[in-house]
Structure 1
Amino acid sequence: MLLRRASADDLAVAGAITEAAYEPYLNGPEDDYRERLRDAAARAREAELWVATDEETGDLLGNVTVCPPGSPWRELAGPGEGEFRMLAVSPTAQGRGVGEALVRLSVDRAREQGARTVVLSSLEQMAAAHRLYRRLGFDRIPERDWEPVPGVRLIAFRTTLEDR
């Protein structure tokens, strides 16, 4: 598996992978969040869009949005905190370590950017992602749970980089 910044040629596929990974959590075809998930170009322009590719075939397996300080994609992070969003693994690549590799990369990027901790938000229903985060040293921080829109509850996680 190769991890790299997304290129212009990756954007349509990265958006499609993100939409497919989040499909079970969307409220039908008219869900407003669907377009945001597809908009990999905005994430690449306004944050850091990283992709995981199959080294043999070059196929995109997944992607993640790393939100450095100053990025409009930051939702939860404050001073000294890194954040990543929209971790997405193609349904056909799940179970191959893609998500773990992208989380580790996100943590490394936060460390390189001077963060002391990394935070993220996740839908309550994303149990598989929560297991991954806990396995990689993230703890729940319920005092930072929030609702971006009424009825959509996001739960928060954090890891401290000094301990890693």
Structure 2
Amino acid sequence: MDILIRPADEPDLGPAGEVTVEAFVGDGHTRPDAEYVHLLRDARRRAAEAELLVAVDPADLSQGPSGRVLGCVTFAVGGTEWADIATPQEGEIRMLAAAAQARGRGVGEALVRACVARSRELGLTGMAFSTRPGMAAAHRIYERVGFSRAPERDWRPRPEIELWVYSMTL
């Protein structure tokens, strides 16, 4: 399957929000009634305040001229509103999500690689981002792309939420 990674367009925003909620809630990483679900669904805000990249299938034009949204990721530079852990010289991945029907097709890895490329384009020296300990499939992608665990940077936004950090020097 061909996958095209590009900045989100207006018609992508609704589907991108739904794919993100589907991935986080459907996989049990976020409760359906959690306040975080509103942030996950708000792809419009992410596209306006950070960079929202989408993975689309250009061969499937049934969802519009750009193809169906297979996944998405929010990319932010450290020190900006959407960056939780990255320093100003690092890029950060937020809310990486692949649609259930697109899993196992390289969507997540393509999105992660696009964020690495974007960091390099911006002249950043590295990347760092948070992930939940139970997101094993995502961890495999990060490690395959070249990220390593940075346990000294692990943190808890709330006592009940543990976040691991992965990082890479570019």
Q: Shorter-chain TM-score category?
A: over 0.9
Q: Does 1:22 align with 2:31?
A: no
**Which structure 1 segments of 5+ residues have no match?**
none
Note the residue ranges of structure 2 that are not aligned, 5 or more in a row: 61-66
Instruction: State the shift of 1:79 in Å.
Output: 2.7
Output the amino acid matched with 1:18.
Answer: T
Q: Distance in 2 between matches of 1:87 and 1:154?
A: 15
In the alignment, the residues of structure 1 paired with residue 75 and residue 14 of structure 2 have an alpha-carbon distance, to the nearest angstrom, of: 18
TM-score (norm 2): 0.91
Find the aligned partners of 2:158 and 2:97 in 1 and give their Cα distance: 21
C-alpha displacement at 1:114, in angstroms?
A: 1.4
- Are the aligned partners of 1:47 and 1:67 in contact in 2 as well (CA < 8 Å)? yes
Pair 1:31-2:34 in alignment: yes
Tell me if the contact between 1:14 and 1:62 (Cα under 8 Å) persists in the aligned partners: yes
For the residues of structure 2 that align with 1:17 and 1:155, how far apart are their CA atoms? 23
Report if aligned partners of 1:121, 1:154 keep a CA contact under 8 Å in 2: yes
Shift of 1:132: 0.9
Counterpart of 1:117 in structure 2 is 126
2:167 is the counterpart of 1:158: yes
What percent identity do the matched residue pairs reach? 49
TM-score for both structures, normalised by structure 1: 0.94
1:68 to 77, 98, 103: 77
Deviation at 1:96, TM superposition (A): 0.3
Determine the C-alpha separation between the residues in 2 that align with 1:85 and 1:113.
17
The reply on whether 1:145 has 2:154 as its aligned counterpart is yes
2: CA distance, partners of 1:78 / 1:140: 16
CA distance in 1, matches of 2:87, 2:80: 12
Aligned residues: 160
CA distance in 2, matches of 1:71, 1:39: 18
SS at match of 1:96: coil
Query: 1:48 and 2:51 equivalent?
Result: yes
Equivalent residue of 1:35, what SS?
A: helix
Find the residue that maps to 1:25 and give its secondary structure: coil
1:125 alignment partner, SS class: coil
Matched residue, 2:6: 4
The residue number in structure 2 matching 1:103 is: 112
Distance (whole Å) between structure 2 residues aligned to residue 70 and residue 141 of structure 1: 19
In 2, Cα distance between equivalents of 1:3 and 1:71: 23
Superposition deviation, residue 69 in structure 1: 4.7
* 1:149 CA drift (Å): 1.7
C-alpha distance in 2, partners of 1:8/1:54?
A: 17
CA contact (8 A) 1:21 1:91 kept: yes
1:82 to 2:91 alignment: yes
